Amino acid sequence: MTKYKHLLVAILIVVTSIQSSAFCGFYVAKADAKLFNKKSEVILVRDGERTVVTMSNDFSGEVNDFAMVVPVPVVLRREDIKVVNRSIFNTLDDYSAPRLVEYYDENPCTPRFEYSMQESVQLTSMAINEFAPSANMVRKDYQVTIEARYEVGEYEILILSAKESDGLKRWLTDNDYKIPESAEEVLDPYIKSNMKFFVAKVNLATFKGTNSEFLSPLQITFNSDRFMLPIRLGMANANGFQDMIVYALTREGRVECTNYRTVKLPTDRNIPLFVQPEFGEFYKKLFEKAYTREGENAVFLEYAWDVSPSAGVKCDPCIGPPPIAQDLVQAGASWIANNSWNERAFFTRMHVRYDRENFPQDLFFQVTPNQERYQCRYILTHPAQGDLSCEGGQRYIEELNMRRKKEMDELVALTDWKGKYGSNYINQYENQKNEKKNWIIPVLGGSTPWTLPLAFGLMVLLIGVLNKIFTRRAATH
């Protein structure tokens, strides 16, 4: 039997950061810059009815093109809005991203111990300057009320309430927020649900840089019984699907979606060694496959763990430093601040790929008491080194071949990557041994609607037969 010796290395490859993004709102261009908001990150903290939403604003493009509109349930006060350091997103991402781990086999002929360590996580955090200047907004008869106006960080923020979508649309257009045509119809339901609009632009008068990569994340706090993310507005200028990573923090346990399925991604799988340099691509492909299999309308769980300051093991293995109390507070879990050692915090990372067709409703969430840990973890196993000519070594090679075949099968099952390195990899250590047949449980495709009728048919047969047996037995007694 193969023995795994040391768990040595944890490599994180942050899922490729694609272009710019839109969270619940949308980014609009003033010029005709072509914008594709593909990936965004949101921190969502829920404590009773108190909700803190932090939007990463990782927008790529000209700073003066940046504009966002986010529906919010209440008029936010000045103290409810702040900018936070971008590093909080990096901390949470580094900590919870899908991980690749390595094990080393022990040589059955000459057992020895190896220990080495490598880590490849480096994401820099950047300091953000604060700005507090002013700008002018003219109010015409748009039936739009500016409920509040704030200067926060480099942003110029307005809280609007509107009577009808047309007025709001005109207002936004006249104030240089170029609204996509399709946004108007989505504005209407939000107005009628009594939502306010959180509108932010970069204050060009004072923002020195032109590089939007340095925009700071905006954090808003409010009380509402609605625990949701209004994604519909963000679909207005999106081309195809968008990806969103949600980092959720609660006192009780996991956060799950209530109107879409929250699905775990395949985890703890043994995969071939050659995946290592391409782990990012591997994970992207794995996600894509899972997304298709689950019908393109699920929310995926990528990580769930107790991150309470007093919790013992915060990750296994850790690929980035676990968030400390200060990070949690910065993310919005303010209950940690007072008595950090006794307070609980549970972290959930979700990944949702959404588009208009498959996600007609906004995302609604609930906090559950579920504290079960979960992580996306993929395993590499390095073969034993050295002389394998002893009897045990020969057996080991046989097992190794079988294992590698399984790894290849697993790789195909997870990603559909076929034949790239296949036979070479499996046979690399095969000397004189014959290959044995491998077995794998067939995985049913996600969109096979016949499973249910089939199950039903079988149950009808089974229950019918059982019933007959029981009634006959009862009759004979």
Partner 1 sequence: MTTAILKKTIKMPIVFTDPRLFQICALSSFLIFGIIQLGWSDQIESYFLIISFALVTQAAWMLGLGLKADTLKSGLITGLGLSLLFHSSNPLLWAAAPILAISSKYVIQWKKRHIFNPANFGIIVPILLFGDSWISPGQWGSSAVLLFFFGSAAAMVLLKVGRIDTSLAFLGTLFLLEFLRNVVFLGWEWDVVTHKFTNGSLLLFAFFMITDPKTTPGGWLARMLWGVGIALLTFILTSKFYIHTAPMWALFFAAPVTALLDNWFRGRHFSW
Pattern 235-264, binding to partner 1, x per CB under 8 A? -----------------xx--xxxxxxxxx
317: cis peptide before it, omega within 30°? yes
**Given the complex with partner 1, which of 110 and 451 has the nearer CB atom?**
451
Sketch the per residue contact string, 408 through 447, with partner 1: x for CB under 8 A, - otherwise.
Answer: ------------------------------------x-xx
**Which member of 78, 140, 163, 468 binds partner 1 (CB under 8 A)?**
468
Region binding partner 1 by CB under 8 A among candidate stretches 304-312, 344-352, 418-426, 448-456: 448-456
Closer residue to partner 1 in complex, CB, 259/394: 259
Of 193, 210, 292, 389, the one binding partner 1 by CB under 8 A: 193
Size of site (CB under 8 A) for partner 1: 51
List the interface residues with partner 1, window 351-410 (CB under 8 A): 360-361, 364, 366, 368-372
Give the position of tokens 């700005």: 131
Distance (Å, whole) CA 348 – CA 253: 8
Question: What whole-number distance in Å separates Cα of residue 312 and Cα of residue 316?
Answer: 11
135 belongs to the binding site for partner 1 (CB under 8 A): no
* Binding residue (CB under 8 A) for partner 1 from 385, 420, 451, 469: 451
Q: Which is nearer to partner 1, 73 or 217 (CB)?
A: 73
Q: Under the criterion CB under 8 A, does residue 189 sit at the interface with partner 1?
A: yes
* Pair 71, 196: CB distance under 8 Å: yes
Pick between residue 236 and residue 257 the one whose CB is nearest to partner 1: 257
Instruction: Single out the residue of 62, 147, 166, 188 in contact with partner 1 (rule: CB under 8 A).
Output: 188
Residue (306 or 430) nearer to partner 1, CB: 306
Q: Among 157, 172, 236, 298, which residue sits at the site for partner 1 (rule: CB under 8 A)?
A: 298
Asked whether position 161 contacts partner 1 by CB under 8 A, the answer is: no
Indicate the residue among 373 and 395 with the shorter CB distance to partner 1: 373
Residue 79 vs 181, nearer CB to partner 1:
181
Q: Binding segment for partner 1 among 98-106, 107-115, 184-192, 425-433 (CB under 8 A)?
A: 184-192
Q: Which one of 78, 140, 163, 192 is in contact with partner 1 (CB under 8 A)?
A: 192
Residue closer to partner 1 by CB (options 225, 391) is 225
Residue 265 Cβ, how far from partner 1 at the closest point, in Å?
10
Shortest Cβ 362–partner 1 spacing (Å): 9
CA angle 223, 224, 229 (to 5 degrees): 110
For partner 1, the binding residues (CB under 8 A) are 185, 188-189, 192-193, 225-228, 252-253, 256-264, 295, 297-299, 360-361, 364, 366, 368-372, 444, 446-449, 451-453, 455-456, 458-460, 463-464, 467-468, 474
